[in-house]
Structure 1
Amino acid sequence: MRITPDGRYLLTAHSTVTVTALADGTSRQIELWERFSCGFDLAASGHHLIVAQNNRGSPAGWVGCRSLDGPAHPIVWSWELERHTRGSVTCVADARFVLTESWWDQNLLRSVFRYVVRSVTTGEVLTAVEGPEIDWFSPVASPDGQFLVGLLNARVIVLSVEDLSKPVAVLKNSGRRHFTGVAFHPSGKYLAATSNDATVKVYGTTTWELSRTFTWNIGRMRSIAFSPDGTLAAAGGDAGKVVVWDVDL
């Protein structure tokens, strides 16, 4: 789910991408292939939608760009992929986006993970490098586009967009409970992470040290978000409750 930077549209995806005008509630469908593991993100300008899908029954995939300007949402470009994506697309600074690919290597007898940085305007590959494993959930980019953050069980994996081959930092949970969601504060100075241990942990992005831990005793936390001005934060839990609080970091 995404809202365009100008606040005009809400985008949701399943077998299609639905573009809903927030002013009047009207919606338009962008048809996709009948595939699975659909991932999408908005370019920073808000004018382009990047969508990646896997081809059912085949190791190949597909990535494409649609314009959000005008009613037809025309295709800007599309590329066929040789590898499965992990259902993740993350747009970063300088009109780039990151695709995470994975495949089973029969010689190494293990899964291989590759981070591919492509151009938003053309889809062409800018860099591609093997790197550490992260979960299927789309990684999150820092506001300045410098860092890419993903989850792996009880760890938060912090990667530099300029060198995705190795972590900048690995943040381990205080117990064995898994992390479930992450979000950067709009200032870029803090990273918040929800966890199955019913807490929200906040890390400083200069040292990646734990800064604050919040507990509201509403059960396992699932997601976290900040308001655009950074003054409010909200976290949702398994019990269907959402906590909203004034940010004072």
Structure 2
Amino acid sequence: MRIIQSEKPRPLDLLAVGPGGLVAASTFVFDAPGDVEVWDAGTGTRQCIHHIPDRETECIAFTSDGRFLFVGATAGITVIDLHSGGKTAVSRFAGSSPDFVLSAGGTRLVVVNQNNNNVECFAIGAGAHFSLVWSGQSDWREHYAPALNRDGTRAALVADTVYGGPGGRPSQHIQFYDAQGKFSGVIPLDPADPKAGFVFTADGMKLLVPTGSRTVQMFDATTGAAAGELVHPGRPYVTCIAVHPRGIVACARTNGTVTFWDAEKREPLRTFDWKAGKLVSVAFAPDGTLAAAGTEDGKVVVWDVDV
């Protein structure tokens, strides 16, 4: 286990673990420095920093080979070549305030343009090349918080009509898309209790949804039916969820702990407590050998995983 300190104390609620022991972190908290830092987890040495002046960072993700880091911010998506240090702003997303998710397998990227609510899915090829797979748009729904299953064949995101949908009534639900971008089911939500940060289980059969409490809800990713809950003891609430390739679910909490769960049995397996402070993020490497958790004051805890 190693604890890495950011040069700028801030909530590190954006976290990514890449191949080869790379860890990237930033924040989407308003008015906090959105700079993206990348470290070597083995030595704790910072490899690079991507400055985002006067901009909010939305999301970060490594490509499957660990060479590129995608950074989404108000200005668009920047692709950072971690070998050469080169940075490329993707013109297609300029000024779009994108919210994106990269599949754990690294083959698909779903991007939500938060300016026009357009949703697009791209295949990611060699050299971080983008190739459009499908596109969909709604004139009245606000889309955000995309999630992808491991191979990128199923997507989910929030469709929000808090400003008035059909009949002028606010509504919110999680909307599923299949591999061709067709709607494949919904999960109704309470618009007074917005959701984000949900993830698919490793087999893609269920969706895990944090509730802003100690409970994580589970839904069938095909029918949208409720499929159980992961209920933590005590009052501290779950701030982030990550899924290991072998199926273990990790939940970070405000009391500084990470609990591993058997999602099928809905049983806790092990709890880690490094006394590092409130945790606001958790993530696994693509092969599951390394995990990391970010704190609200700029620390990243990294540890080897044996499951």
- The structure showing larger relative contact order (alpha-carbon pairs under 8 Å, at least 6 residues apart) is 2
Q: How many Å separate the matches in 2 of 1:73 and 1:228?
A: 20
Is 2:174 the partner of 1:115? yes
Partner of 2:287: 229
Partner of 1:213: 271
Cα contact 1:44–1:95 (8 A) shared by 2:
no
Cα shift at 1:112: 2.6
Distance 1:233 1:85, change over 3 A: same
Q: Which one of the candidate residues 69, 79, 88 is aligned to 2:145?
A: 88
Cα contact 2:76–2:96 (8 A) shared by 1:
no
Cα contact 2:108–2:152 (8 A) shared by 1:
no
Partner of 1:177: 236
234-243 or 71-80, which moves further after superposition? 71-80
Cα shift at 1:227: 2.9
The unaligned stretches of length 5 or more in structure 2 are 1-59
2:84 partner SS:
coil
Q: How many Å separate the matches in 2 of 1:143 and 1:82?
A: 33
76-85 or 16-25, which moves further after superposition? 76-85
Q: How many Å separate the matches in 2 of 1:170 and 1:76?
A: 34
Is 2:260 the partner of 1:202? yes
**Aligned AA (2:249):** L
Cα shift at 1:234: 1.9
Give the 5 Å matches for 1:49-198: 49-55=109-115, 61-69=117-125, 73=130, 75-92=132-149, 93=151, 95-104=153-162, 111-120=170-179, 122-125=180-183, 127-132=184-189, 135-154=194-213, 155-164=215-224, 166-188=225-247, 190-198=248-256
Cα contact 1:180–1:193 (8 A) shared by 2:
yes
Cα shift at 1:24: 1.3
User: Structure 1 length as normaliser, TM-score?
Assistant: 0.81
Cα shift at 1:197: 1.6
Give the 5 Å matches for 1:18-37: 18-31=78-91, 32=93, 34-36=95-97
Comparing both structures, which one devotes a greater share of its residues to strand? 1
Is 2:67 the partner of 1:8? yes
Distance 1:21 1:179, change over 3 A: same
Cα shift at 1:53: 2.5
Q: How many Å separate the matches in 1 of 2:128 and 2:281?
A: 32
Cα shift at 1:183: 0.8
Q: How many Å separate the matches in 2 of 1:45 and 1:233?
A: 16
**Aligned AA (1:160):** D
User: Structure 2 length as normaliser, TM-score?
Assistant: 0.67
Distance 1:209 1:7, change over 3 A: same
Partner of 2:297: 239
Distance 1:107 1:90, change over 3 A: closer
Q: How many Å separate the matches in 2 of 1:63 and 1:81?
A: 9
Cα contact 1:222–1:236 (8 A) shared by 2:
yes
Aligned length: 240
**Aligned AA (1:50):** V
Q: How many Å separate the matches in 2 of 1:177 and 1:110?
A: 33
1:81 partner SS:
coil
**Aligned AA (1:96):** R
Q: How many Å separate the matches in 2 of 1:108 and 1:175?
A: 41
1:143 partner SS:
coil
Distance 1:205 1:65, change over 3 A: closer
